């Protein structure tokens, strides 16, 4: 007897079976539970974002509200609808603020991934769901991070991981929904601390694995960001909640 499918997997996404795991930064060193969700197979591309700003002109570079994007927003575009010649349509979109990334996902009926969701999928390699104990895994990621980003980098050129997701490492950093929730406490948001102290090494005090330098780098860069910032090597992808039981 053929069993019916439990759910339909969304186009361009793969389903992630949630579980409990210990992230690099545990909440008081506790285990985190990640629920089932779907995630984009690839980062959002330049071509994707061109289509988006055509439909939603408020996110075009000449029209975006300055509260939601800094001066670097889409600086690698010729104008509101065209990329510079050096940029490729199938490269990840970058110079995108958190506000723009969040709205893009929501307009697709999706959302940005949480830090825990992103790290949960990113800790996999081609054969293992949790490859963080492998020296080869961390060495490879660090090598990727040390390599300069090229405008020629295209999505899908790195091997997919065991979940079937490409380019979580080695292409661009990626925005998360709660990008600064780990290194910035509720108290620090209320006080007068400036961004200059967010890369401080003392931020590693709560790390559950101090040897995972690649993951620490991700947490450090996230903690240094503001939602209006846009950067050459910062892009995003979307997720959505799953009906998988």
Residue 36: which of 121, 156, 158, 149 has the closest Cα? 121
Are 166 and 158 in contact by the 8 Å Cβ rule? The answer is yes
Give domain status of residue 3, yes or no: no
DSSP H helical segments within the chain, as ranges? 46-55, 98-107, 115-122, 135-146, 186-190, 213-223
- Residue 228 inside a domain? The answer is yes
User: Within a domain: residue 5?
Assistant: no
| Token pair for 215 | 């993951």
Q: Could you give the CA distance from residue 130 to residue 31 in angstroms, rounded to a whole number? A: 14
The average pLDDT across 2-11 equals: 52
Which two tokens mark 154? Answer: 């295209």
2 assigned to some structural domain: no
Predicted confidence (pLDDT) per residue in 37-78, tens digit:
999 999 999 999 999 999 999 999 999 999 999 999 999 999
Question: pLDDT of 139-188, one tens digit each?
Answer: 888 777 676 666 568 899 888 999 999 999 888 899 999 987 765 443 33
- Furthest C-alpha separation in the chain: 65
Angle at 200 between CA 199 and CA 203, to 5 degrees: 95
Give how many domains the chain has, as a whole number. 1
| Pick from 97, 90, 42, 87: nearest CA to 65 | 97
Please give the Cα distance from 43 to 40 (Å, whole number): 7
Which structural domain range is residue 73 located in?
13-241
Let me know how long the chain is: 245
Cα–Cα distances (Å) from 226 to 59, 99, 105, 132, 167, in that order, read 18, 10, 19, 28, 24
| Domain-located, residue 76 | yes
Asked, for residue 184, whether it belongs to a domain, the answer is: yes
Is 62 a domain residue?
yes
Whether the pLDDT of residue 204 is over 90: the answer is no
| Residue 74 buriedness (CB in 10 A; 0-12 / 13-18 / 19+) | buried
Q: Which CATH number belongs to the domain containing residue 138 in this structure?
A: 3.90.1580
Neighbours of 59 (CB within 10 A): 25
Q: Identify the pLDDT of residue 218.
A: 79
Residues 6+ apart with CB under 8 A from 28: none
pLDDT averaged over every residue in the chain: 82
Flag whether 164 is in a domain: yes
Q: What digits encode the pLDDT tens for the residues 157-168? A: 888 999 999 999
């Amino acid at each position: 007897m053929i069993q019916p499918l439990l759910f339909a997997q969304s186009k361009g996404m793969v389903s992630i079976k949630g579980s409990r795991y210990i992230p690099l930064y545990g909440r008081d060193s506790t285990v985190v539970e990640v629920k089932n969700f779907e995630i984009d197979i690839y980062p959002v591309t330049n071509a994707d974002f061109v289509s988006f700003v055509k439909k939603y002109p408020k996110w075009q570079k000449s029209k975006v509200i300055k509260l939601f994007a800094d001066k670097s927003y889409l600086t690698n575009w010729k104008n509101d609808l065209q990329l510079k010649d050096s940029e490729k349509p199938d490269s990840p979109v970058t110079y995108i603020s958190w506000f723009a990334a969040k709205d893009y996902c929501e307009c697709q009926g999706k959302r940005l991934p949480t830090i825990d969701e992103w790290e949960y999928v990113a800790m996999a390699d081609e054969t293992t769901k949790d490859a963080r104990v492998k020296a080869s895994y961390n060495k490879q990621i660090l090598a990727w991070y040390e390599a300069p980003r090229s405008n020629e980098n295209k999505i899908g050129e790195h091997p997919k991981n065991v979940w079937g997701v490409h380019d979580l490492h080695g292409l661009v950093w990626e925005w998360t929904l709660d990008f600064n929730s780990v290194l910035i406490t509720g108290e620090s948001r209320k006080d007068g601390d400036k961004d200059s102290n967010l890369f401080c090494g003392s931020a590693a005090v709560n790390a559950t694995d101090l040897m995972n330098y690649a993951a620490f780098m991700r947490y450090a860069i996230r903690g240094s960001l503001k939602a209006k910032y846009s950067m050459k090597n910062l892009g995003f992808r979307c997720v959505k909640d799953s009906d998988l039981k």
